[in-house]
Structure 1
Amino acid sequence: MSFGTLLLKVQHSEVSGCCCEDVQVKVVDLFCGAGGFSHGFIKDSDRHLAVDIDQHALATYARNYPTATVWNRDIGRLHSSEIQESLGGRPEVVLASPPCEEFSKSNPESYRPAADRIYGTGTARLLLDAIRIIGDLEPQVFIIENVAAILRSGGHDIIVREFIRVGIKNIHFNLVRAHQHGNPSKRLRVFISNMKFKLPRRNPPTVHTAIGDLPPLGLDAILSRPVAIPNHNLVPVMESRMKKVRRARSGQGVRHFRISKSKTQANWVRLRPDQLATSINGLSRYIHPTEDRLLTVREHARLMSYPDSFVFTGPVESQYNQVGESVPPLISHLLAQEALEHIE
């Protein structure tokens, strides 16, 4: 059985028996991106609204959720009354993944106090708009996803204070390490919610298990019968960089970027086939464990638990970002299983 088939079976088993099989809830996904966060919460519902400012990500979202209402809007200028009018009432669930770049460890400016960022002029202040809309809509369940570093340098207290400001006092900061729940790559995120989640644990697959059944590409594909897999296309690399790719050993990065005055972070790392994959990020690229090439968008998606039926659209660089900036669908399904059981 391929990993993709196994993943679909796991996702189906996680949501079987929960109320989403019988009751269609109204769901809003703010900063929806490609739709990884939505994956576990909707089942062909026409009462689902997705909002983002990224046109390429929205095109992917619309391709995979054809019955959803998709808005290309600046959430900073979005009013909750527009959402209620579109859905025909208040949503039962609000999901949100406001931009995390200003809090990411890879950002050299991440050392600054959280207040300077959240109350500043950058994208970090969009967190306040997510809280504002949640306070207005009063959903039965809300979940805000972000990097765990958002809680540092005063971020935790600011978030609590802003929720109290809109009348919400029941706040839980759920730290989720995706690989501990079966995701093929490491990913630490905080899910801020009015619910405390206890996701089931399972061992994650290795890199080889996750992507090893995909067809080889380039010179390795000469003796193989071609099989069309969405988003599984060879990524061109300049010859000067290919020389470094060919020399790269398992676990070694051939490129580096600076994240502080004294620290750099490896990029273009050759993954170890018998181990868990490192965190899949939008700007990062990885070298195939046994082939001398970069991983494809599909391989990134596999390592983020996306089924092969989920197709990414737009420029290739955007597709990589769509995968790396999303919530793994497997985690979405686990969250949905618990969240939807509490919908009245």
Structure 2
Amino acid sequence: MGRSPHPNNPPNLQDIWQFMLTFKAIRQTQFGGPEVLVLEELPIPQLAAEDVLIRVHAASINHFDVISRRGDFPGVPLPRIPGMDCSGYVEQYNGKRTDLSVGQPVVVLGTTLGNGGSGGYATHVCIDQEEVFPVPSGMDLTIATCLGMTYLTAWYALKQRSPLQVGQILLIPGVGGGVGSAALQLAQALGIRVIATTSSAAKRQQALALGAEACFNYREQDVVQAVREWTQGRGVDAVLDAVGGDSIQQGLNCLRKGGQLLSIGIVRGDRFTVDAIAFLSNEQHLLGVNVGQLTPGDRYQIFLQLVDLIQSGKLTVTIEHTFPLEKAAVAHALIESQEQFGKVVLLPHG
């Protein structure tokens, strides 16, 4: 197998395993709890003419991975290798793109990784060149991985789908999750004021430390009453909801007249009811936001803008915990416990 390279340096070309026949991956053959995530050794697939073989440096875990693992998202094929975000180094590429070469650090920003195609919970990924992009010089690969689904979703919602202006107030329910913490930090960088809800005193303190002006414990407080009192009865300008279920109506109850709720996730459930009279009377807006409809090229343009914010010191990515690949089930259990604040990442090579 050769020597393992430094975690953030390209592998020595002599160590590239393009002639190795197998790789390790987390494979799921049935729906269920974290225990269905099993480490297996699998054959490396034959590369098509436009495929890229990537030695995975990091794979970040998203709530979609958890929901789809349980069988709560329709159309997920089995068996599969989960993981919608990953970064690493090009190990083999025979295509014609001049911006891709062996040993180069790259990030996958596609539509098939872990969502119909083989995912990032693996030592290696074979994927179409259209979903692979160079990581700018000086950018940490673990951080780059975290800019996938969560930060892309937060950017797309706040910059391209929301009319929020500098100084307006955004409510983020469940701020401790990956996309919630990403939205909090991105909103700060964009000059948007943030209040939030969370489930514990510890996460409340973390949210306040990251710039939230107020954070309410939804297990101990009446969130609608707390938000209304904090805004002196007016309500917030927008809600960014990654929770779903009954959180949608609660968010609408926190909105001002003419405010907008952006629904970006279904952690708590994919069905909700709305008080139609209040919704119509207050002329509120309810918008579904799906970053999945963006092309890989569109995603890369957002990724580059996020990198600029990070490298200029305006945006910091919060990573709660990293795990080796074989601890994927433990990582999923941590996310389901709702005890983490920020991203959880797998490091397949330690």
Structure with more helix by fraction: 1
Specify which structure has the bigger relative contact order, considering alpha-carbon pairs within 8 angstroms and separated by 6 or more residues. 1
**Is TM > 0.5 for Structure 1 vs Structure 2?**
no
Q: TM-score, normalised by structure 2?
A: 0.37
